[in-house]
């Protein structure tokens, strides 16, 4: 049985695909990849079918993550039934997801940075309109939260091999 995790940001070209790539790689390193299904989506359809922002790809690549094959998509009603955990990058995304959740959906929706261990921030800032430092900061936060998420899932939700 796999735990299914969906990351959500606005357009699905910066934060959420970065989180998808980081969690996938971290799961591979820890031997948990076969027990996770990871995806990402946006609350808006601005970039459906587009690859991640080139600056996100570059920053990720410098840290060993390849997100070039990912493509933007919008959150769908089926996602609320398909995924066990839907993680929002900021409070605005969280509110949109909570309003959109079908009444009979059993998924948990929360902020991704609730799993961060080394940051008191609760929102992953949008680096889209900034410079390279913003993309590096996003990666720092995402790597921290991904580690915490894997620890949490390993302890409480993932079946033992």
Just list the catalytic residues.
9, 15, 126
Dihedral angle of Cα 150, 36, 16, 107, to the nearest 10 degrees: -90
122 with 144: CB under 8 angstroms? no
User: Which DSSP symbol is given to 35?
Assistant: G
CA 40 to chain centre: 6
Name the E strands within the chain.
3-9, 36-42, 85-88, 108-111
Q: How far apart are CA 39 and CA 107, in angstroms?
A: 14
């Amino acid at each position: 049985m796999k735990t299914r995790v969906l990351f959500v940001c606005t357009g699905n070209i910066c934060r959420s695909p970065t989180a998808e790539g980081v969690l996938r790689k971290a799961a591979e390193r820890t031997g948990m990849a076969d027990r996770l299904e990871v995806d990402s989506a946006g609350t808006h359809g601005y970039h459906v079918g587009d690859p991640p922002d080139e600056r996100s790809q570059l920053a990720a690549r410098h840290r060993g993550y390849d997100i070039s094959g990912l493509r933007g998509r919008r959150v769908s009603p089926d996602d609320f039934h398909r995924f066990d955990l839907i993680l929002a990058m900021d409070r605005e995304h969280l509110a949109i997801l909570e309003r959109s959740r079908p009444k009979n959906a059993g998924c948990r929706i929360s902020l991704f940075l609730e799993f961060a261990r080394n940051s008191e921030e609760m929102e992953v800032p949008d680096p889209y309109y900034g410079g390279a430092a913003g993309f590096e900061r996003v990666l720092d936060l995402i790597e921290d939260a991904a580690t915490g998420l894997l620890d949490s899932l390993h302890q409480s939700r993932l079946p033992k091999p």
